[in-house]
């Protein structure tokens, strides 16, 4: 069977279109994106993050989480930073974010400094991605090369923030499927859960677990946590997700799981006789394996549905549309 030149060209064009969506984010994001247009961008962001973490070490965890909560809703487009307006229902007021997501001001500080030297160039979405990397390194976690070139959304989705973000009570199957829906595999999910090596959780998120008397929680650990988390009231009381090295991004989180000392149900479920047990054991034994996989997973997470090219905008202020 012979194919005419015109037919062949049409087939190639169709094939190219089929490939385009999956290739787009990888083809258009680049670690050198601002080298000519804003050469000091990364240093400017790093300075803002360093100052924030030196004031409050917990902020490192908050900045990593902020990037994560952005990427899981509409992709890595800084939609989480948009404030409420008559036309925008903010993601900030969605249940997984309300009263717990922090660090908005740090991103605005970095953006304000960038607008002085390269106005209208660096996106808020990219600031979030770089800030998460810098936060990791400042608390002993791994570094990685951040791909850049994301643009900012003009919309937010309160609804998706309510449905797409993993929750502290989720069973393992739901955690795995939720990450898979974003293009992240089970190993990525376990590695990213290791971010709970730093940061704190509010009492109401782990109360049921520490008063459950279930076999999957160490009795002494539960007793210690009850001191700051009574059965009623004081919902906002904080406890470190990792009691041993609460301000160090390391593999202690996985060692804690082996001792049944995961603070959240969604932590301990990673070592509960299921498909993720072997990964948890590997990370608990190898700080290097965890650090390497965490960095790789953060890069893949930063690739979730970015706006590039002519899509989206570069916001002048991260909390508002220009």
* Alpha carbon separation from 132 to 9, 20, 65, 229, 270 (Å, rounded): 44, 28, 8, 30, 24
pLDDT of residue 213: 85
Residue range 98-146, pLDDT digits in tens: 999 999 999 999 999 999 999 999 999 999 999 999 999 999 999 999 9
Domains observed in the chain: 40-165 (1.10.520.10), 172-300 (1.10.420.10)
Phi-psi region of 120 (alpha: psi -120 to 50; beta: other; left: phi over 0): left
- The sign of the dihedral angle between the CA atoms of 100, 238, 166, 146 is positive
pLDDT digits (tens, 9 = 90+) for 248-271: 999 999 999 999 999 999 999 999
Q: What pTM was estimated for this model as a whole?
A: 0.90
The residue-averaged pLDDT of 157-165 equals 97
Q: What is the pLDDT of residue 8?
A: 40
The binding site for Ca(2+) consists of 70, 73, 75, 77, 79, 91, 242, 245, 250
Annotated binding site for substrate: which residue ranges?
166
Query: Do 110 and 131 meet the contact criterion of CB atoms below 8 Å apart?
Result: yes
Sequence ranges of the binding site: 70, 73, 75, 77, 79, 91, 166, 196, 242, 245, 250
- Single out the residue of 84, 115, 192, 149 nearest to residue 308, CA to CA: 149
Nearest alpha-carbon partner for 281 in 258, 297, 249, 259: 258
**pLDDT reading at 2 higher than 90:** no
Digit-coded pLDDT (tens) for 267-317: 999 999 999 999 999 999 999 999 999 999 999 999 999 999 999 999 999
Residues known to be catalytic: 69
Q: Is the pLDDT of residue 26 over 50?
A: no
Is residue 40 predicted with pLDDT exceeding 90? yes
pLDDT of residue 43: 98
């Amino acid at each position: 069977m012979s194919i005419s030149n015109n037919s062949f060209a049409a087939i190639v064009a169709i094939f190219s279109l089929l490939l385009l969506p999956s290739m787009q984010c990888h083809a258009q994001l680049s670690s050198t994106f601002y080298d000519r247009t804003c050469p000091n961008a990364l240093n400017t962001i790093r300075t803002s993050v360093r100052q924030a973490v030196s004031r409050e070490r917990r902020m490192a965890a908050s900045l990593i989480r902020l990037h994560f909560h952005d990427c899981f809703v509409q992709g890595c487009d800084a939609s989480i930073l948009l404030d409420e307006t008559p036309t925008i229902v903010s993601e900030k007021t969605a249940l997984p974010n309300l009263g717990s997501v922090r660090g908005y001001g740090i991103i605005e500080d970095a953006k304000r400094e960038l607008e002085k030297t390269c106005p209208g160039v660096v996106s808020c979405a990219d600031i979030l991605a770089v800030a998460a990397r810098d936060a990791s390194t400042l608390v002993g976690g791994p570094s990685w090369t951040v791909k850049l070139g994301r643009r900012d959304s003009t919309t937010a989705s309160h609804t998706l923030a309510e449905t797409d973000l993993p929750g502290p009570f989720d069973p393992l199957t739901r955690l795995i499927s939720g990450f898979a829906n974003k293009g992240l595999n089970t190993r990525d999910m376990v590695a990213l859960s290791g971010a709970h090596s730093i940061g704190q959780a509010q009492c109401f998120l782990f109360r049921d677990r520490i008063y459950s008397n279930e076999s999957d929680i160490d009795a002494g650990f539960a007793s210690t946590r009850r001191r700051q988390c009574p059965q009623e009231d004081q919902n906002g009381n904080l406890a470190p997700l990792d009691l041993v090295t609460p301000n160090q991004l390391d593999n202690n989180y996985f060692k804690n799981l082996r001792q049944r000392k995961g603070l959240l149900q969604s932590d301990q479920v990673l070592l509960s006789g299921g498909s993720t047990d072997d990964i948890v054991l590997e990370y608990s034994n190898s700080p290097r394996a965890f650090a390497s996989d965490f960095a790789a997973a953060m890069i893949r997470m930063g690739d979730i549905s970015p706006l590039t090219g002519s899509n989206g905008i570069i916001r002048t202020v991260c909390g508002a549309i220009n």
